[in-house]
Amino acid sequence: MLERLQLRQSGTSTNLTERLWPFLVVASQTFGLLAFILLTIWVTKFLGGMLWDGGAKEFNVHPYCMVISMILLNGEAISFFRIFRHSSKNTVKLAHASIQLVAFTLATVGLSAVFQFHDNKGYPNAYSMHSWCGLLTVSLFGLQYVFGLVFFVLRFFHENLRQDYLKLHQFFGKIIFAMAIATSLIGIDEELTFAGKYGQLPPVASLGNVLGLVLIIFGIIVAYIITHTEFERPPSDDEFKAISETEND
């Protein structure tokens, strides 16, 4: 472990990436906030606002809730382990699980809105690439949440199995995050294609496209933060070590 730490602290490569850290955190928060602002303007000013009335304004609840939950909150929650790597692991886990619960709840509201809108209008449900990807993504997110609870909160199963599952949880966390961004981009394209005049790039279309680009950039920065070992929690605070110590108490 010590050798790994020393390895990490030496070498140009690591130092360069570590020096990027403050910029990466500021950039991720800035692009997340920018996406939130653009999304809010897009939905409220350009798509006509939100209202739970079974009409177009209820449809608008869908993109608003889905982007906030599956991309913005999800992106924050998965970055937490890196951003707060010097805080107590249990506190960070609690924050991660809480934010993901809020995200999942918001996602179900967003899904209800679009299903109710379709049903009211007599439109078919769940036929497009966007809907297939979206349902797959939210289902995986829900499964991932339940597995996370079972393994890391309720702590069923032995430490070895928890360690195995942690790798899978982290892998699928990234996959689900990427799928959420992809699904939103498909959804924006679909919405603007349905609305018509997409080819003339009216303000609603330009803003939608720019929102998509900002979501991609947010995704890339979060991906950089969560995949680079330089930003890992120092091994001394390792969950599994901490658990073993507690179990030996």
243: its two tokens:
């658990």
Choosing from 185, 204, 225, 226, the residue that interacts with a second copy (CB under 8 A) is: 185
174: its two tokens:
């990234």
Q: Who contacts 107 (Cβ-Cβ below 8 Å, separation ≥6)?
A: 65, 66, 69, 70, 138, 141
208 is an interface residue for a second copy by CB under 8 A = yes
78 is an interface residue for a second copy by CB under 8 A = no
Least CB distance to a second copy at residue 117 (A):
14
164 is an interface residue for a second copy by CB under 8 A = yes
Q: Which residue has the tokens 């850290």?
A: 21
Choosing from 6, 160, 246, 248, the residue that interacts with a second copy (CB under 8 A) is: 160
Cα–Cα distance between 244 and 242 in angstroms, integer? 6
Choosing from 33, 51, 153, 213, the residue that interacts with a second copy (CB under 8 A) is: 213
143 is an interface residue for a second copy by CB under 8 A = no
User: To 10 degrees, the CA torsion angle through 191, 216, 165, 104?
Assistant: -40
| DSSP-assigned letter for residue 211 | H
Provide the terminal-to-terminal Cα distance of the chain, rounded to the nearest Å: 23
34 is an interface residue for a second copy by CB under 8 A = no
Least CB distance to a second copy at residue 231 (A):
13
Choosing from 24, 39, 73, 188, the residue that interacts with a second copy (CB under 8 A) is: 188
224 is an interface residue for a second copy by CB under 8 A = yes
38 is an interface residue for a second copy by CB under 8 A = no
232 is an interface residue for a second copy by CB under 8 A = no
Least CB distance to a second copy at residue 225 (A):
11
Percentages helix, strand, coil for the chain, rounded to the nearest 5?
A: 85, 0, 15
